[in-house]
Amino acid sequence: MFDFQSNESYMAHYLLDKLEGIEIGGSLHNPFCLNTINVDFTNETTIYKQHENKLSNGSFLKVDVIASGDNLPFNNETYDFVISSHAIEHFYDPIKTIKEWLRVIKIGGYVFMIIPHKELTFDKAKNRTTLNELLKRHKNPDPNFVDNHVHHNVWITEDVVELCKNQNWKIVKVSDRDDKVGNGFIIVIQKL
């Protein structure tokens, strides 16, 4: 099992120090310590906030903006980056979500994602989410879909690389093991 009292990410600091950005679903027990505003879908107590509370001695990271991560209330090209740790897998349509993150960052900016690795998390027994499934969800969203904020996507590094190539997103960094908790991988996209 991994220690969720994690380190900061050297790669995130290398790319994002001195920039301004958005963190999607930030948490006090897993800080990036960057110049970000924290966007979360709710300010209410969820199972994720309960977990954060337990690991952070009764504290929570302040939510600055309440909004769904796939529908951000910011103008185009406002920030230098969007960063997330263990968040993109919770979105039913990650293509829509990443497009939204790219929309709000400036040209040359970054989308920095730490994504749970199927083989290193409780998702190990689940089937991987295929590119065809993602394309189908994006093209024909299920009108009856109810978001219960679980892992809608299960990946290994190569799966997300394949998605990025399919969408013509420029990958600038890939790491098969993240440098924070160690149970995920890193994909960094740069907006052209």
Distance, in Å, from the CA atom of 183 to the CA atom of 70, rounded to the nearest integer, reads 24
> What is the overall mean pLDDT for the chain?
90
Whole-number Å distance between alpha carbons of 26 and 180: 14
* 190 contact partners, CB below 8 Å, separation of at least 6: 108, 109, 110, 111, 170, 171, 172
- The pLDDT, as a whole number, for residue 157 is 98
Confidence of residue 42 (pLDDT cuts 50, 70, 90): confident
Q: Is the pLDDT of residue 23 over 60?
A: yes
- The full set of domains in the chain, from first to last, is 10-190 (3.40.50.150)
Beta strands in 41-169 (DSSP E): 65-66, 79-85, 105-116
Q: Would you give the DSSP letter of residue 69?
A: T
Average pLDDT in the 93-100 region? Answer: 98
> Amino acid identity of 53?
N
Kindly tell me the number of DSSP H helices and DSSP E strands found in the chain. Answer: 5, 7
Average pLDDT over residues 91-120: 97
pLDDT of residue 3: 41
